[in-house]
A = this chain, B = another copy of it.
Amino acid sequence: MQRDIFLAGAGQTRFGEHWDKSLRDLMNEAIDAAITSSPCTALDIDMIVIGNMLGEIGSDQAHLGSLTSALLPHRPPAIRVESACASGSLALHTACAFLESGRAKTVLVVGAEKMTDVSADVIAEALMGAADAEEDRPAGLTFPGIFGLIASRYMYEYGLKRDDLSIVSAVHHARAKENPYAQFRSEISPEAVSRSTLVADPLRLLDCSPISDGAAACILSTQHQSDIRIAASQIAVDTLSLVHRPSITSFSATKDAAEKALQEAKIKLSEIRFLETHDCFSIAALINVEDLGFADPGHGISVYRRLFERKNDAPVLVNESGGLKGCGHPVAATGIKQIIDIAKVLRRDGERFGMAHNFGGAAATCGVHILEHSHA
């Protein structure tokens, strides 16, 4: 990092179905919570970066920079960033660049999504905008279909069993139970996952993160210090379509972004105590812990087995918030909410380093942030 950037405030809405709230209402609620939690007033904010993917189709609304800015009394400059499900982490990354450039001293970063005002069919189509419209969509693929293919190939390559995969969502639900902002605060057994409705073979309903409304906001500042510092902010990309990749059981954008982030933070992977990772589908969580280096290829399930049994020997604690499966996944809000959750657990346990790993599409864009807690 070119300058010290601190997490000066953070807040979010509950993730879930908010029939009575618009995209603007959700953003307003998260922004209010972030400002209230901080030493800043609204007037300290000299820039806004808003991450959003689905405004156009879900709410007939583009141009969210201007809309969001008008929620503050002084209408600071505002930019909307979109990178599918990685919109949140790319908004954070963009905010870091503005802070490092010196153009801004205190940036409000918002991620928000309103997914329940249109039918699930429309949202499923809109989410396919994250894949290649010329190469993936004509094949009839949806995102459950894409990750179903990935899971099939992974099971073929590594011999993973369907019932093993079910452990992943069980772990995430168990953690979400403790999170008041989570969409699903109920435990589920691996057996319930295995028995749930088939969506895209081998993936079942409870392997899939849900459709959610929600917003999350952070205040990043070079001026207002706090006990949480952004130690690294990195992004990387891969081909949009799976057809151009040498493997679909590993995501190169994750590896690239994480490697650059560890270099930037000047730490080793073993110093990361907490990880929030992008479990849009259960299989993604296994691939992610492998790509990030917490398990060898094909052995991600061993990490989740330890987490399931709440053993202390897991190499990293994953998705203590409940992850995308437990918390819900209001697309662009997820990348911001991961930062909030990492900050919470670092403070809770007095640990020093945590990582947030967020991707878009089938990891065609990936953002990795490392947070450092100074009171550890």
Stretch at the interface among A93-101, A213-221, A321-329, A343-351: A93-101
Specify which of B60, B78, B80, B131 is in contact with A128 (CB 8 Å cutoff).
B60
Q: Contact between A65 and B78 (Cβ–Cβ < 8 Å)?
A: no
Q: Does A126 contact B (CB under 8 A)?
A: yes
Shortest Cβ gap from A5 to chain B (Å): 11
Stretch at the interface among A148-156, A292-300, A308-316, A358-366: A358-366
Residues of B within 8 A of A76 (CB): 237
CA distance A96 to B80 in the complex (A): 16
Shortest Cβ gap from A126 to chain B (Å): 7
Q: Using A56-B57, A82-B63, A101-B97 as known contacts, say yes or no to A77 and B235 having CB atoms under 8 A apart.
A: yes
Specify which of B56, B79, B82 is in contact with A126 (CB 8 Å cutoff).
B56
How many chain A residues have a CB neighbour from B under 8 Å? 60
- One complex includes copies of this chain to the number of 2
Q: Using A97-B103, A365-B78 as known contacts, say yes or no to A61 and B129 having CB atoms under 8 A apart.
A: yes
Q: Does A132 contact B (CB under 8 A)?
A: yes
Residues of B within 8 A of A99 (CB): 101
Q: Contact between B77 and A62 (Cβ–Cβ < 8 Å)?
A: no
Q: Using A2-B101, A60-B133 as known contacts, say yes or no to A81 and B79 having CB atoms under 8 A apart.
A: yes
Taking A2-B101, A79-B93 as known contacts, 16 extra A-B pairs with beta carbons closer than 8 A to each other, sorted by chain A number, are A24-B134, A56-B57, A60-B125, A62-B82, A63-B129, A63-B130, A63-B240, A64-B82, A66-B238, A66-B364, A70-B240, A70-B244, A75-B238, A77-B237, A94-B94, A100-B101
Q: Does A179 contact B (CB under 8 A)?
A: no
Q: Does A67 contact B (CB under 8 A)?
A: yes
Q: Does A59 contact B (CB under 8 A)?
A: yes
CA distance A42 to B129 in the complex (A): 26
Q: Using A60-B137, A134-B24 as known contacts, say yes or no to A66 and B240 having CB atoms under 8 A apart.
A: yes
Q: Contact between B66 and A62 (Cβ–Cβ < 8 Å)?
A: no
CA distance A244 to B67 in the complex (A): 12
Q: Contact between B102 and A67 (Cβ–Cβ < 8 Å)?
A: no
Q: List 8 A-B contacts (CB under 8 A).
A: A53-B62, A56-B56, A60-B133, A62-B129, A69-B237, A75-B238, A79-B94, A80-B83
Interface centre among A90, A238, A240 (most CB of B within 10 A): A240
Q: Contact between B237 and A130 (Cβ–Cβ < 8 Å)?
A: no
CA distance A235 to B129 in the complex (A): 28
Residues of B within 8 A of A103 (CB): 2, 97, 100
Specify which of B96, B128, B237 is in contact with A65 (CB 8 Å cutoff).
B237
Q: Does A22 contact B (CB under 8 A)?
A: yes
Please give me the residue from chain B that is nearest to A67 by CB atom: B240
